[in-house]
Amino acid sequence: MFRVDYVGNGPYLSCASSVVHHRLSSSDRFLVLSSDGLYQYFNNEEVVVHVTWFLENVPEGDPAKYLVAELLFRAAKNEWNGFS
């Protein structure tokens, strides 16, 4: 059974949003809507590289599912490296 004894200090969730305005142009190819969890493991450039690669190599696929899979892989790898 998995058990976490750490409770920490609340609040655990916040409704404070971070909004960025960007005027769309003809050179924009896609829009990524995400939570801050994505950016704990990727920076903006890495997200663009991953999505661009996916759109060019798997045009019939789902880039959101691909990005989530990459995020889970990176998060698991990051946590695994923390174990000695």
Whether this prediction's pTM lies above 0.85 is answered by no
Extract the tokens encoding 24: 């769309």
With 60 as the cut, is the pLDDT of residue 1 above it? no
- Higher per-residue confidence, 69 vs 11: 69
CA distance 19 to 84: 39
**Helix/strand/coil (H/E/C) assignment for every residue in the chain:** CCCCCCCCCCCCCCCCCCCCCCCCCCCCCCCCCCCCCHHHCCCHHHHHHHHHHHHHHCCCCCHHHHHHHHHHHHHHHHHHHCCC
pLDDT of residue 6: 63
- State the pLDDT at residue 83: 56
32 burial via Cβ count (<10 Å: 0-12, 13-18, 19+):
middle
Taking 60 as the threshold, does the pLDDT of residue 33 lie above it? yes
